[in-house]
Amino acid sequence: MATGISAQLLESLTLGRIVAAVVVLTISSFIVDFTWKPRYADSLPRAGCGRGLLGTLQNWFFFVTRYNDWVAEGYKKYSKDQRAFVVPSAPSRPHEIVVPRSQTAWMLELPDRVLSAKEAHQDVLRNDYQFLGIDDHFPIQTIHKHLARNITGLIPGVQEEVHGALDAVLGKDTENWKSLNLWEVWLGIVPRVTSRIIVGAPLCRNQEFLSAQVAFADDVVRNSILLDLFPRVLQPLIGPLLVLANRWHWRKTHLLAEPLITQRIHDMTSNDPAHKDWRPPEDMITWLIRQAQTEGFANQLTADLLSKSILSVEFAAIHTTVLTGFNLFLDLLSSDPSLNYLDTIRGETARVFAEENGAWSKQSLARLTRTDSAIKESMRISPIARSLTHRKVVAPEGVTNPAEGWHAPYGASLMLDLGGTHTDPTLYEEPERYDAWRFSREKERYEARSAATTAAAAGEKGADREEGLRIKRLGMVTTSPEYLPFSHGRHACPGRFFVAHELKMILAYFLQNYEVKPLAEKPKSMWLGVNAIPPVQTKIEIRRRKGTV
């Protein structure tokens, strides 16, 4: 009897019925998602296709290809008049309120118990799935506390890794031009250099370890995009399946790093008198152990947990730095050769490098004024995403905007528009043009004027001091409501100082040791939802400069 019923059920499962069931389940899931999402006041203007069920369906359908255009349109129509507006988001996420620049301080200064950067970040990357159950708050807090204070001592090792990585990726052939994929060049450099401060040498040069780290970063990006397209109600089913690749690539890095981490834990927690004068190397592994001891988590120190804890750091450092360096080269190589950007940076870096006897330091890198400006300008004009500053309303009662009076309920999403801000002609002259000296020009004029003038009156000295502080804020690591690649406020990227040093050293070594042919035009990125997808097929032609070692 039971066998007969089973047979009848199997016979009834035709392909058409299975497809119909999947369609009904998917539509039902999106409807459930729709009912869970926060609602915004009608007084808030909208960008996108429209409202209601039909408008929502259109927004979901066109999100991947038109999101960037929607935000750009809203910026011109509303943000420039200091008004917030609502823009459609991915199908699984609530619409976002785009906060105008004049309200930046209000948004970023609210406490985390009201507007949470952590919760917004987790919604974007799906941390619960992607990073294998590890909360990224602990490693981020560790970076905040330890990276900046140790950066001076890290620079010699980073310089060593930069030189070694570029030599390995680019070669030393001084006779023949070599065609290389620019994306693969940066993937060959950044993971190795970044891993120097995370796991140290020699593991940072292990190609199997680096390849697995890169693959993990690719997994996170791909899965973030895919999970955005599925309704939240289905994500507990789909998420664990999608991140199987994440787990596989983490496992490969873990097996390679486990002996190092286990030994470090033993050495740093040992009471053996022979260890009393031993000092651990300053890297991410040491900092995580030290932070765990400080916060009373020493009983949770295992190689398994520590290797997972570095995943979010490796992802952020690899993904964003590769994109930034890649875009920097596109901007420099596609600029008019008569502007002499490359020769000028080569001259500046060579001069300072020689004055420092071939050893970079925090102070000497800070003297690379034009190099700093060239990198900052590229980050302004070539963003990696439409926005990098998001907040989620976590206060049960929501939050009310004092400037306009609109209310954002619990679960609402707020953002700052990086793309519109960086191309606003009221902030930047000819904002669509890459001007490598945009930020150094004013600093050089100030320094020349200061050197030429004699001592001024007390009041003038005060004014000059204020001007000097303003000029100092033109550097690439200084965030502001007008410059948002590292976000802004207390949750601004804690690794930006290291990234600045890293990019300067890479650019300096490359230009001092290699020739490169210009690009006829800048290859265009493609917008996929909120993300700018780079033209990864771009190739450059390089040759080792004669007379270099």
For strand 96-99 and strand 413-416, is the pairing parallel, antiparallel, or unpaired?
Answer: parallel
Burial of 441 (0-12, 13-18, 19+ CB in 10 A): middle
Task: Please answer whether residues 366 and 1 qualify as being in contact, where contact means their C-beta atoms are separated by less than 8 angstroms.
Answer: no
* CA nearest to 93, candidates 171, 34, 20: 34
- What the block records as the tokens of 122 is 């987790």
- The span from the CA of 532 to the CA of 185, in Å, is 19
* CA nearest to 148, candidates 189, 191, 197, 196: 197
Task: Please answer whether residues 434 and 153 qualify as being in contact, where contact means their C-beta atoms are separated by less than 8 angstroms.
Answer: no
Task: Please answer whether residues 57 and 427 qualify as being in contact, where contact means their C-beta atoms are separated by less than 8 angstroms.
Answer: no
The residue whose two tokens read 């004699």 is 454
The residue whose two tokens read 């890198």 is 365
The residue whose two tokens read 């390089």 is 542
- Cα pseudo-dihedral 35, 77, 388, 476, rounded to 10: -170
Task: Tell me the residue type at 428.
Answer: Y
- What the block records as the tokens of 135 is 């909360």
Task: Please answer whether residues 274 and 242 qualify as being in contact, where contact means their C-beta atoms are separated by less than 8 angstroms.
Answer: no
* CA nearest to 480, candidates 489, 467, 468: 489
For strand 407-408 and strand 399-400, is the pairing parallel, antiparallel, or unpaired?
Answer: antiparallel
Core vs surface per residue 389-407: b (16+ CB within 10 A) or e: bbbbbbeeeebebeeeebe
Left (φ > 0), alpha (ψ -120 to 50) or beta: where does 81 sit?
alpha
- The span from the CA of 223 to the CA of 251, in Å, is 18
Q: Does the annotation list 204 as a binding residue?
A: no
> How is the chain split among helix, strand and coil, in percent rounded to 5?
60, 10, 30
Core vs surface per residue 113-148: b (16+ CB within 10 A) or e: eebbbbbbbbbbbbbebbbbebebebbbebbeebbe
Give 487's contacts (C-beta < 8 A, 6+ positions apart): 388, 389, 479, 493
Reported as type and span, the H/E element at residue 140 is helix 137-170
Known binding residues are 493
Known binding residues for heme are 493
